[in-house]
Amino acid sequence: MAKSSQLSILGGLAAAIGASACCAGPLVLLLLGISGSWISHLTLLDPYRPIFIFVVVVLFGFAGWKIHQPVENCADDEACAVPKVRTRRKAVFWFTTLLAFVFVTSNYWIIWVV
């Protein structure tokens, strides 16, 4: 459970960053003091945004399914049977889900920040 849910969370977070690269990427680069005409080419990723969002939803759905499975499905010697580990994994999952949500929805709220 640990490896599959960790990999899907990391993959989902990477896809969320990819989904926000067209909108939040140029703003972040400008806030860091990096400028140039090449920044406008980051909008080339915009047609792939729905694919990135689909990947985010699938990977986080799989991770949530693995993390929130009943304790009865875990063997006694697995980490998913330990309450402290389950709580920590759920907290990491929900934090990264919130972070991915911020990245994916960045093109809707970024105009108010600028």
What residues does each domain of the chain span? 2-30+47-110
Contact in structure between 60 and 100 (CB atoms under 8 Å): yes
Instruction: Please give the Cα distance from 87 to 91 (Å, whole number).
Output: 6
Count CA atoms within 13 Å of residue 47 on its CB side.
Answer: 2
More confident position, 75 or 83 = 83
pLDDT value at 45 more than 80: no
- Residue 80 has a pLDDT of 74
Q: Which two tokens stand for residue 80?
A: 């998913």
Q: What is the mean pLDDT of residues 43-59?
A: 84
- In 3-state terms, what secondary structure has residue 26? helix
* Angle at alpha carbon of residue 100, lines to 95 and 104, rounded to 5°: 155
- Residue 94 has a pLDDT of 92
Instruction: For residue range 17-29, list pLDDT tens digits in order.
Output: 887 777 766 777 7
